[in-house]
Each structure stands twice: as C-alpha cells, then as structure tokens.
Amino acid sequence: MFRKCLASLALGPVPSPLPLPRIAPIASQLIQSRAFHQVPRESRPPKILITGGLGQLGIECAKLLRTQYGSNNVILSDIIKPSQSVLENGPYIFADILDFKGLQKIVVDHRIDWLIHFSALLSAVGEQNVPLAVRVNIEGVHNVIELAKQYKLRIFVPSTIGAFGPDSPRNPTPNVTIQRPRTIYGVSKVHAELIGEYYYHKFGLDFRCLRFPGVISSDPPGGGTTDYAVAVFHEALRHGKYTCYLRPDTRLPMMYIEDCLRALLEFMRAPNEQLKRRVYNVTAMSFTPEELFAQLGKHVPNLHVTYKPDSRQLIADAWPQVFDDSDARRDWHWQHKYDLVNLVDFMIKDVQDNYINVQPEQQTLQI
C-alpha cells in the first residue's frame, strides 16, 4: 500500500502498474515517476485531525495530506492501538468521538483547522448492532459538527450511495432526489448530510460532504455491502476461487481509493464560492460482480466463482446502480482517472505486494 493514494494527484491517463520497491517512500516514487499536480495552498498549512483514522480511508488519507501539508500538520486518531508503521508515518493520538470534552481538548491543544470525520459503522455491520450504530454514526456526528461550529473548523463528513433507498431513482441517481434509506447506516448518513447543511445555513459552518460509491482498496474487507469487490482479489489470488454474496447482475457505483482520496482533497481545497451545494455525489464507474470477475479472470484464468446471495443483496437492491456526479464535475471540476481495467490491474499489484508476496514477519506490519 506504499504506492496507493498519492498517484491520484498526477496528471494524464493512468498507466499500467510498474514494479516499485516496497521500501521506497511513496511520495518520492510518485514525484519521480509522474507529473505532480500542485494545487495552490493556503498561506499557512491547515492543521488537520482525522477521526476513525484506522479504517479503510484514514491511513491513506493521512499519507496523502502529509505530502501536501507536512507530516506534523496531519494528526491521525482512533480508539484502536496502532501498528508500528502507523506511528512511524506521523502523529497518532487517541480520540473518542463520543467524548466531547476530549475532542475539545484535542482541537485546542493541537490548534486544529480541518476535521475529517471517518468514524462510522458500515452498512452490514450497522445492521447487526443498531444501538451502537446510532451512537457512533449519529451521536458522534452531533459531537464533531458542534465542535466544528464552536471552533470554526472546516469539516468533512463522508456520505455514501447507502444514503439512498428503494424509492430513489437508481439509474442514474441525481444529486438531489428522494432518499429514504432502509439501513441504519443510510439513515445516519442522511442525518449527517441534513444536520451539516443546517449548520451551514444557520451558523455559517464550513461543512463539506461527498457521497462516495463503493471504495475499492487492497485493505481487507471491513463490513460494507460493496466489499465483495475487495474480497474477490484476496480470495482469487490466494485460492483461485470466490463465493459472492451478491447476484452476478447487481450493478453498483464504484471508485478506486486513489480517485476517492483525490476527490476529498480537491473538494476540501475548493473555494467556498465554487460550491453550489454542501453535499455532492462523486463516482468513477459502475459494474456488476459478473463484469468485475470477467476482467479479473483475464489475470486469474482458472478463477472459479459461485454465487450465494445473502442479506446484503437486499441492501444492494435498494442502492443506486449509476451515480450522477455531474454537479461535482461542473462546480469544482471533479474528474476520475481509474476505470475497470485500471482498477483490476492496480488491485492485483496492491494485493500481491502488500498481502500475498510478503514474509510472515512483514505481514504483521501491514495496515
């Protein structure tokens, strides 16, 4: 994963993956190998706090932001004990999003300017523990929104395709439409969107939110409905087979993690006057399990796939099939770089380099 997210700042088409030394610093690799797109910076680099930092997006987001603003200006936080490699990459602190006074102390002590709030229980996990999902996904959002208002922070809260429901138009799903999700994850995300917009209109809070599709990275699956598109790479490259919990024709919007984090960075840097709304759809592609497995099968010729749909199929059936992100492309010039072919090429390399072709002692250091 040392190569992953910083490539997203490069200009031009995405090339096929090339072998890279696993020990080389990611920033130096990419500055040497690709044109490095510098976006104009603020007069003083923002001090950034990332909550829920040990999830799928947090560690890679911190790496990306540190190349732009300096290692000491990006503080990763969570309630989980970090690995040694996390500690070596920059500041890490304990932060419980349900402890408001503790959050206040962090903001004051570290002079925080931006807050990127990743703490959440995902769709499938949230359905298994609704009370906990309410506390983390709703009470936690209340805390960080109020914190951002009190200290005049710029705050980013991600939303999701799961914020839509069976009454929403599915192909395409526009930026503004009926939502009414039927999972606690989706309900909590709609709540976050609305409370953030309310604080923007009522108090002038600089609230920013992107609705992400399924985000694909080499990190092992974390409990999301779209995680089949991650799990299949691990299983196919290790065992040559995979059992999919969705039907072969289940079309969902997706995005490679480098596109996802580049969208976040560009959105956070966008001047307020460019933003016609506070919540935007962003996406890169839409595909079905069958389409993904066919592309993967070109690299794993004897891949054997079986389909056993479970409760996650009901969730997926209520979600968008194709995401309309034309507002983001118009207002702040969002453009994705990775399509299905690029995605499969880079995922194979990422999973092999970081999980398959590593020594046992190295494996324990993977994030």
Catalytic residue positions, numbered: 185
CA-nearest of 247, 212, 216 to 233 is 216
Query: In angstroms, what is the C-alpha Rg of the chain?
Result: 20
Answer yes or no: are the C-beta atoms of 126 and 137 closer than 8 Å: yes
E-state strands within the chain = 48-51, 74-78, 92-94, 114-117, 154-156, 159-160, 206-212, 214-216, 241-244, 252-256, 279-281, 285-287, 304-307
DSSP β-ladder status, 279-281 and 304-307: unpaired
Answer yes or no: are the C-beta atoms of 36 and 10 closer than 8 Å: yes
- CB neighbourhood size of 130 (10 A): 14
E-state strands within 9-139 = 48-51, 74-78, 92-94, 114-117
Residue 174 corresponds to which tokens in the numbers above?
């526009």
Helices 228-239 + 289-297 axis angle, to 10: 30
